[in-house]
Amino acid sequence: MVWIFAVFAVLLLFASPRIRGIGLTILGSVFAIFLVIVLLNRRPAPTPVPIPPMVNAGAAARQFDFDKYQEDKKDREDPEAKSRIALSAVRFGQVQLVAGIEAGTIETIRARLYNDSAQFTLTDLTYYLEVKDCLPLKPDEKHPVECTTVFDQRKTASTTVPPNQARDVLIEIAKDPATGNSPFKLLGTPRIELTPTATRAYVTAGRAAAGPHP
């Protein structure tokens, strides 16, 4: 379209002096438009903004909350389950560690879970596990020592411990999700603290008893 006006303007240059001025005006406008088009084409294209990959956060949240959803569902069906066994009636004993293949690591924790309730069976338990590394305050001293927490985890596990009985449980130390290795390495003497933090004694009909492993 621009070239048509240019040709028309050139033809006007050969016309009468009066019309020749119009031709020069049109030719100048065509030249200006052509220059603008050239400059616009030479501008660098804008750098596209990288779009991060989409993460299905909703699905991850649903997966993460599934155990909590199941627990809430059972609590609604049997709201008294949380109060049937007092927290003071449940305890861990004979806590031992099973060393990992690599020196200074722990693979699992073995313990005996006691239910001192005289009436109800323990069906679910929330526990807090804390691993401390105890070192002398000075390199040439054995006492006193300073203990530092190097690992802890809080989990809910299904179990079946009848009244006034105990069951042996095995608690796995969660691996580092990035490397698959042990999340810590002991430099001194380990101290294991394993504490119940919540109990459940469900009596809902049809509930299947699960194993004692977390």
Of the two residues 36 and 208, the one the predictor is more confident about is 36
Q: How many other CB atoms are found less than 10 A from the CB of residue 9?
A: 19
Rama region for 189: left / alpha / beta (φ>0; ψ in -120 to 50; rest): beta
Q: Could you tell me the residue range of the domain that residue 132 belongs to?
A: 79-200
Q: Give the Cα separation of 89 and 118 in Å (integer).
A: 9
pLDDT of 114 over the 70 cut: yes
Is 196 among the domain residues?
yes
Do residue 89 and residue 161 come from a single domain?
yes
pLDDT of residue 178: 86
Is 110 among the domain residues?
yes
pLDDT of 113 over the 80 cut: yes
Is 61 among the domain residues?
no
Is 35 among the domain residues?
yes
Average pLDDT over residues 102-123: 95
Residue 121's pLDDT band, with cuts at 50, 70 and 90, is very high
Whole-number average pLDDT of the chain: 78
Do residue 31 and residue 122 come from a single domain?
no
Contact between residue 113 and residue 90 where contact means Cβ atoms under 8 Å apart: yes
**In what side-by-side order are the strands of the sheet with 145-161?**
145-161, 122-136, 189-200
Overall domain count for the chain = 2
pLDDT of 138 over the 70 cut: yes
Q: How many other CB atoms are found less than 10 A from the CB of residue 125?
A: 25
Do residue 27 and residue 94 come from a single domain?
no
How many percent of the chain have pLDDT more than 90?
47
Q: Give the Cα separation of 147 and 186 in Å (integer).
A: 11
| Cis-peptide, bond into residue 136, ω within 30° of zero | no
Q: Give the Cα separation of 203 and 122 in Å (integer).
A: 10
pLDDT of residue 180: 84
pLDDT of residue 205: 46
Element (H or E) spanning 92, and its range?
strand 90-99
Is 49 among the domain residues?
no
Is 60 among the domain residues?
no
Q: Tell me: the pLDDT tens digits for 172-190?
A: 998 888 888 899 999 999 9
Do residue 84 and residue 188 come from a single domain?
yes
Give the distance, in angstroms, between the CA of residue 209 and the centroid of all CA atoms in the same chain: 29
Decide: helix, strand or coil at residue 170: strand
pTM for the structure as a whole: 0.62
How many percent of the chain have pLDDT more than 70?
63
Contact between residue 164 and residue 83 where contact means Cβ atoms under 8 Å apart: no
CA-wise closest residue to 145 among 177, 200, 186, 88: 186
Q: What is the largest CA-CA distance in the chain?
A: 121
Q: Give the Cα separation of 32 and 54 in Å (integer).
A: 47
Do residue 13 and residue 116 come from a single domain?
no
Q: How many other CB atoms are found less than 10 A from the CB of residue 116?
A: 16
What dihedral angle (degrees, nearest 10) is formed by the CA atoms of 184, 188, 193, 194? 50
Q: Tell me: the pLDDT tens digits for 36-94?
A: 665 566 655 555 545 444 444 444 444 556 667 777 888 888 889 999 999 999 999 99
CA-wise closest residue to 202 among 28, 98, 81: 81
Is 213 among the domain residues?
no
Decide: helix, strand or coil at residue 79: helix
